[in-house]
Amino acid sequence: MNAAVDQVGNERDAHVVEEICGYVTGIPPRSFFLFAGAGSGKTRTLVEVLRRITGVVEHAAGGIYASKLRVRGQSVRVITYTKNAAKVVTSRLGENRLTEVSTIHSFCWDLVKGFDEDIREALIAKNMEELAKAKAHAQSKKRGESDTDRRKYAELEAKAEELRAIPTFRYHPDQNTYGEGALSHQEVLRVAAWLLCERPTLQRIVQDRHPLLLIDESQDTMRGVLDALFDLTTIRPGHFTLGLLGDHRQRIYPDGHVDLPSHIPPTWARPALQMNHRSRERIVRLINAIWEADIEGRTQSKIGVAQHPRSEKQGGKVRIFVGDTANTTSVKLSFEADCARSMAQITGAEAWSANQKSFKTLALEHKLGAKRGDFYNIYCGMALLDKEAATPDPNGERMGPAMVRPLLGGLLELAECVRPDGTLDEFAAVAVLRRHNALTKLPSEHAARAVRLAELYEAISRFAVLCHRTEGAQVKQVLAPILEANVLPADSRLVGAYWDERPPPPEPEREASESKEDRQRRGWHLLMNAPWAELARYRTYLGGEAPFATHQVVKGSEFKHVMVVMDDEEAGGNLFSYDKLFGAEILSKDDKDNIAAGKETTIDRTLRLLYVTCSRAEESLALVLWAKDTNSALTAINACGWFTADEVVVLP
Ligand SMILES: Nc1ncnc2c1ncn2[C@@H]1O[C@H](COP(=O)(O)OP(=O)(O)OP(=O)(O)O)[C@@H](O)[C@H]1O
């Protein structure tokens, strides 16, 4: 941070763009880490720097920098965390041939694609590393190697053999790739990181193409790639500059460096943004306090910059509601509705009222969101079929499991053609059928064609009646006329499940012991018997448009009014614990071992997650804690100093 700068008020960060331009265009240029907290306007800063150093905005040193890029056929490479973020940067930047913006997966694939020999070598090297690690681990055990260990060695050796026989590798940054030579998203990052360390030619290529690489959300960037890029700044100094933007307080994913600031080389510049342009004063004060908290079980350092709200953003409301997690889900939901009503009174904002309900609810786990959004049965069914495809991603691009086609596509589109009075908008329905290639196989002979059209009409009319009578109708019933008359192209697995009369297998005692086939049969059964009305709500959730989201998926977003639901009991899992954070549960032996070893703890992870969720709110924030032990939680909450007495509400 440039200590000479003493600006106050909303303009206190005004010098940062210029400061960064100075580092980038300096001779020699200097790498930097921009510490940019929640709502500090990272994107704006990034775009303003890019505009200057690519000659869009007049800037003496920037103009020279841009000419050099042009003459050398180079560009500035910008890496964002999501595709959406890449689109935001690109759209704000406008047409700019000197900048290339993409996700890290696209960047890494651009580097390695086509170099099949190298990819193979990298994969085999990683495989050998894993084998050596497995052997070292097994041999360190008191009883020595077990049969399981030997099986693992054999699997890894077989995998290496397989890799040797693969001629070409395939990958797509935006979708999962399957079959021989298909690389996973993780593998592409690992391969690129390995090759960047091992191949001087690749290092040269990156430096020659992109003398400057800027990485947004660097706290969550895979550390292997980041380390390889750190090294690149020291090979041929002056030829490659790295600019990291980020906030380690907002690290959500386990891939990033545990403590990014401590990895930044001492020679780097460290500018910082101190403003929070997003949230009102009360919320900014809360997130500052959260980060400064001394909580038993915290091992992460308090390094960070306290934020300042904009001068016109005084006020803001915060409440924490504490209730007993032993309540049933329906009781909890009704209390949460009371919390929203209470927020409506406190803030006077219509958004919290039962009529509008336009606040955003953030839950830790999809199941919590699914219960609150009333699509629990559908979600559980989809998750059993294919967990990854069933959950939304930060780009809102997930389509649900491929095997349920046409449930989430054509079928819901057809349902939208049913008017509120139950009649069918035939014109719109034909357009849906056309879009989904349902009319391409009509018989050419006149009479047969008429018969088939009548059949389709009959099926869709029955479907419209069933759709309209949504109360109580199950997916299987509504699907029946469409599948039986073969109206829309359907996945064979869906068709098989529809005709499958067998009862579902029982729920296993341990998830891991269940076969994929049994799991999917249970999924199909749940899905077919789920209320039809849940399907549309689930699709909205998948697209990121629902008023519910998980804590992790809202990275980079902002909402006027936010309700954070914290309920360890319902969420399951042991990576996070709001009960431990808020004193409703004592630390476990594992937690204590981690603290003693200075490792990251449940408290560290949960504190950061809370930091991220609270910092999404602009105007008002309701925290709802469903605690295992409400009395202990209340004692800890009253003692922590984050809230005033009138901000703590006990749910009866
Ligand atoms: N200089 C500024 N003046 C006024 N408003 C700003 C300024 N910079 C950013 N904002 C606004 O503040 C909000 C937060 O900005 P932005 O989303 O870029 O923050 P961020 O640093 O990416 O935050 P996070 O890391 O929390 O996602 C946005 O609504 C943005 O329009």
pLDDT digits (tens, 9 = 90+) for 205-216: 999 999 999 999
245 pLDDT band (50/70/90 cuts)? Answer: very high
Residue type for position 641: G
In the chain, % of residues over pLDDT 90 = 73
At 601 the three-state DSSP class reads coil
Residue 5 has pLDDT above 70, yes or no: no
579/603 Cα distance (integer angstroms): 10
- Does ligand 1 lie within 6 Å of residue 38's CB atom? yes
At 100, which helix (H) or strand (E)? strand 99-103
pLDDT at 3: 41
CATH of domain 9-104+199-276: 3.40.50.300
Structural contact between residues 251 and 220, judged by C-beta atoms closer than 8 angstroms = yes
Q: What residues are designated binding site for ATP?
A: 36-43
Nearest protein Cα to ligand 1, atom 8: 41
The sheet with strand 360-363 has its strands ordered as: 548-550, 360-363, 559-566, 617-627, 317-324, 648-650
Q: What is the pLDDT of residues 309-351, one digit of tens each?
A: 999 999 999 999 999 999 999 999 999 999 999 999 999 999 9
Q: What is the pLDDT of residues 538-556, one digit of tens each?
A: 999 998 888 888 877 777 7
Ligand 1 centroid to residue 554 C-alpha, Å: 15
**ipTM for the complex shown:** 0.95
- Does ligand 1 lie within 6 Å of residue 185's CB atom? no
pLDDT at 603: 94
Return the top range by mean pLDDT from 165-174, 250-259, 315-324, 498-507. 315-324
Ligand 1 centroid to residue 232 C-alpha, Å: 31
Residue 383 has pLDDT above 80, yes or no: yes
Across 187-199, average pLDDT: 95
Nearest protein Cα to ligand 1, atom 23: 39
pLDDT at 227: 94
pLDDT at 257: 87
In the chain, % of residues over pLDDT 70 = 98
Residue 525 has pLDDT above 50, yes or no: yes
Q: Relative to the CA of 556, which ligand 1 atom is closest? A: 27
Ligand 1 centroid to residue 557 C-alpha, Å: 10
Ligand 1 centroid to residue 415 C-alpha, Å: 39
Probe target for ligand 1 pocket from 44, 48, 283, 290, with the most ligand atoms within 8 Å of CB = 44
Annotated domain spans of the chain: 9-104+199-276, 112-187, 281-373+547-650, 376-542
304 pLDDT band (50/70/90 cuts)? Answer: confident
Q: What is the pLDDT of residues 556-586, one digit of tens each?
A: 789 999 999 999 988 877 789 999 999 999 9
- Does ligand 1 lie within 6 Å of residue 277's CB atom? yes
Q: Do domains 9-104+199-276 and 281-373+547-650 have the same CATH topology?
A: yes
Q: Relative to the CA of 42, which ligand 1 atom is closest? A: 21
Q: What residues are designated binding site?
A: 36-43
247/40 Cα distance (integer angstroms): 10
Residue 55 has pLDDT above 50, yes or no: yes
Residue type for position 608: R
Task: Indicate the average pLDDT of the chain.
Answer: 91
Nearest protein Cα to ligand 1, atom 1: 41
- Given this structure, which CATH class describes domain 281-373+547-650? alpha beta
SS (H, E, C) 310-364: CCCCCCCEEEEEEEECCCCHHHHHHHHHHHHHHHHHHHCCHHHCCCCCCCEEEEC
- Does ligand 1 lie within 6 Å of residue 615's CB atom? yes
Nearest protein Cα to ligand 1, atom 6: 277
pLDDT at 7: 54
Going by C-alpha positions, the residue among 255, 250, 97, 263 that lies closest to residue 242 is 263
